[in-house]
């Protein structure tokens, strides 16, 4: 059952304030029910166990403690989520297709970086922020619209780098990589990993760390040397800093052998009973493997069609019974009409699904896809 009023970080949210059927609000019930669950604060849950293990690493590696925040409200302003971390006005991540908006000035944070600027302004020099983050996205085994991140920030003053013979930025970049490689060794022992260069609006240079998992390189964190503008605005003009943001689910999937990201939300005892406080990396034993059921659907799209909207409609009907939504055919005819064929994989991790049940879901999906997405079924 969903509480009708939630309170997080001193902010009261009435359900009716959040879920309203109007264009400026795109938060469905499936997302609303996740607010306040705080998997990262449960010591017996893989996400909480991992958070605590990362805390242990920082506590044992640094004499000066990192300040820890893990109860900051996920409802933030557009300014906090985007402007304060220098995300350009026309960046795609600001769109209603990518981000959950409560109203035009308020979002569900899409990253823990939303809290960087404020915490820096309060004078904290090294800190960790853990929390649930929200992104509209497509559906597969490693993507879920709610997941958990941990942000880390460390500020240096001229004293720290002056004797090293390096400039501040080079000193910070080196310290950052050393810190994160140490963290990866602390968590994994030996694991195949690689650094790649990337772009974030709030860091320069920026890097990504990837870990080899299930025959693929999985991106587990983004990081870099903090943009000087952010430091300047927060009263740190003479300083240099690094920041990272890591995805807890993806690390936990690798560490605990959890094959599907939906499992983190399972309340089935056969899942929850396998984990205990302080036990990092106990390998999860799948308690069942039920067969998936595939359903294909084809339709002519219109200009406003997006895959994220399609996935939201499907999840609204099938919830966590959807395992994957995959575009399997795409063509444009002579009249310029574009057809998409999607394959939906339905699978429960807890029980066998019946044909009747799936047919009913698929029927509703077809109905709503047509009525809500402005497409024509073929």
Q: What does the binding site for ligand PHE look like in residue numbers (CB under 6 A)?
A: 111, 113, 151, 200, 202-203, 222-224, 243-245
CB of 209 to ligand PHE, least distance (A): 11
Cβ closest to ligand PHE, residue 57 vs residue 244? 244
Cβ closest to ligand PHE, residue 87 vs residue 187? 87
Neighbours of 215 (CB within 10 A): 5
User: By beta-carbon distance, which residue lies closest to ligand PHE?
Assistant: 245
Cβ closest to ligand PHE, residue 202 vs residue 213? 202
Residues 6+ apart with CB under 8 A from 29: 19, 316
Question: Taking each helix axis from N to C terminus, what angle separates 307-318 and 355-373, rounded to the nearest 10 degrees?
Answer: 140
* Whole-angstrom distance, CA of residue 201 vs CA of residue 33: 31
Which H/E stretch holds residue 254?
helix 248-256
* Whole-angstrom distance, CA of residue 64 vs CA of residue 256: 30
| CA within 13 Å, CB half, 345 | 16
CB of 22 to ligand PHE, least distance (A): 28
CB of 62 to ligand PHE, least distance (A): 18
CB of 239 to ligand PHE, least distance (A): 16
Which H/E stretch holds residue 101?
strand 101-103
CB of 241 to ligand PHE, least distance (A): 10
Give strand pairing partners of 150.
130, 246
* Whole-angstrom distance, CA of residue 205 vs CA of residue 50: 28
Cβ closest to ligand PHE, residue 6 vs residue 86? 86
CB of 360 to ligand PHE, least distance (A): 37
Cβ closest to ligand PHE, residue 203 vs residue 362? 203
Cβ closest to ligand PHE, residue 171 vs residue 244? 244
């Amino acid at each position: 059952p969903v509480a009708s009023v939630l309170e997080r970080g001193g902010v009261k949210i009435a359900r009716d304030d959040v879920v309203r059927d109007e264009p400026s609000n795109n938060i469905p019930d499936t997302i609303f029910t996740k607010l306040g669950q705080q998997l990262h604060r449960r010591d017996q849950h893989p996400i909480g166990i991992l958070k605590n293990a990362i805390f242990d690493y920082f506590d044992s590696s640094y004499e000066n403690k990192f300040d820890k925040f893990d109860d900051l409200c996920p409802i933030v302003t557009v300014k906090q989520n985007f402007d304060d971390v220098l995300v350009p006005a026309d960046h795609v991540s600001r769109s209603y297709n990518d981000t959950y908006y409560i109203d035009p000035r308020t979002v569900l944070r899409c990253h823990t970086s939303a809290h960087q600027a404020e915490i820096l302004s309060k004078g904290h020099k090294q800190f960790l922020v853990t929390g649930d983050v929200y992104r509209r996205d497509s559906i597969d085994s490693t993507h879920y619209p709610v997941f958990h991140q941990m942000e880390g920030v460390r500020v240096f003053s001229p004293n720290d780098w002056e004797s090293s013979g390096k400039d501040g930025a080079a000193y910070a970049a080196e310290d950052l990589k050393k810190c994160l490689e140490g963290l990866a060794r602390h968590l994994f022992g030996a694991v195949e990993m690689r650094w790649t260069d990337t772009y974030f609006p709030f860091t320069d240079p920026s890097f990504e760390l990837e870990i080899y998992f299930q025959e693929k390189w999985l991106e587990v964190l983004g990081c870099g040397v903090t943009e000087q503008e952010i430091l300047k605005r927060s009263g740190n003009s003479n300083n240099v800093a690094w920041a990272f943001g890591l995805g807890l689910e993806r690390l936990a999937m690798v560490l605990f052998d959890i094959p599907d990201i939906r499992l983190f939300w399972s309340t089935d005892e056969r899942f929850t009973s396998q984990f205990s406080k302080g036990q990092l990396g106990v390998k999860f034993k799948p308690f069942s493997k039920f067969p998936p059921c595939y359903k294909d659907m084809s339709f002519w799209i219109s200009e406003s069609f997006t895959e994220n909207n399609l996935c939201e409609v499907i999840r609204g009907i099938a919830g966590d019974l959807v395992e994957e939504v995959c575009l399997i055919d795409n063509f444009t005819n002579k009249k310029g009409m574009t057809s998409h064929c999607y394959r939906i994989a339905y699978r429960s991790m807890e029980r066998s699904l019946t044909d009747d049940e799936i047919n009913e879901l698929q029927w509703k999906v077809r109905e709503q896809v047509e009525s809500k997405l402005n497409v024509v079924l073929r």
